[in-house]
Structure 1
Amino acid sequence: MRVSPILAALFLALSCAHAETLHDLAGNWRLERLSGAADFDRTKTRLQIAADGAVSTTVGCNRASGKARIEGDKVSFGHLAATRMACPPELAGLEFKYFAALEAARSLRLEDSLLALLNERGEEIAAFIRQ
């Protein structure tokens, strides 16, 4: 079957319409929602993404840094090197869930100032607000 050049161009344009780039995501983000975490201090949980993919983050205790890889709506966070300070139990639990969410992220959705990370089933596992 032969596809017309017009249909091929239209398909390509539609498939790229939701593609994100590191440039689109570069900036400071505040954690708004986290799967499995009911209540947490949203003022301390930050994710910074640089235009080159460098990532730094914290939930208010340990800091972590590494690289994000973005291709269209696919995302992965490489190994994040983190400090290992002792944290209060409630913060340590939040931190564990947060870093697990970053590790489980497979795709993203960017709508206005909201960045959602999705797992392999397409379920939201974390959502951030642009700062």
Structure 2
Amino acid sequence: MKTVRVVAAIIKNNGKIFATQRGYGEFKDGWEFPGGKIEVGETPQEALVREIREELDAEIAVGELLDTVEYDYPAFHLSMDCFWCEVVSGNLVLKEHEAARWLGKDELGSVEWLPADLGLVEKIEAEL
């Protein structure tokens, strides 16, 4: 099975986490943590900075690794490095996503997370 390596930003601000709703593809309308594929020659942190700049028009500071999620979708294996992040400049403008929400600890279960992201929610709740 093909492995796809991606990164995800767990963007935290004032005790809330930034979640985005996918606006395209097979998993359209599912909620996820923003990020994307790691390109050849990039570190996970560099990929995350680039992806957030491209998708959300913002600059982030990448912090500690929260978790690496390994998840088998029917067509591929996903390996997702998930980092705590904070916005250092910009306003999180949605360029590719349908919607976004800032979710507090008690609101994290209020959206339909994509399967790979679901496992992260419990870890995030424990840290908020």
TM-score (normalised: structure 1)? 0.31
Relative to its length, the structure with more strand (as a share) is: 2
- Structure with larger Rg: 1
Normalising by structure 2, we get a TM-score of 0.31
Higher relative contact order (CA 8 A, sep 6+): 2
